[in-house]
Amino acid sequence: MNSNRGAVPAGFLGIAVGTLALANLWRVAIRLWHLPAVAGSVVTVAALAVWVIVARARIDDPASRRRA
C-alpha cells in the first residue's frame, strides 16, 4: 500500500449516496416512462460499486484509525 496518500474526506461518502439516489431516480423513471429496465440495473450496479470503492478507501485510510 502507498503510505503517502492523503486522508479520504468524509464528504466522499456523499458521492456514493448521490449515485445511489441517481439509481433510485432511474428506477422510478423506468416505471413512469416505460424506459428499459436494464438502464436502472446498470446504474444501480455502478452506484453500488462506487459505494464499495469509497467505503473501502475510507476503511483502509490510516488517518481515520485511532491511535493507541
Q: Are 12 and 57 in contact (CB under 8 A)?
A: yes
Rounded mean pLDDT of 17-37? Answer: 94
Higher pLDDT, 60 or 38: 38
- Mean pLDDT value across the chain: 85
C-alpha cell at 11: 464528504
CA distance 47 to 35: 19
Range among 1-10, 11-20, 52-61 rated most confident: 11-20
Give the pLDDT of residue 68: 47
Q: What's the rounded Cα separation, in Å, for the pair 32 and 26?
A: 10
47 pLDDT band, cuts 50/70/90, is very high
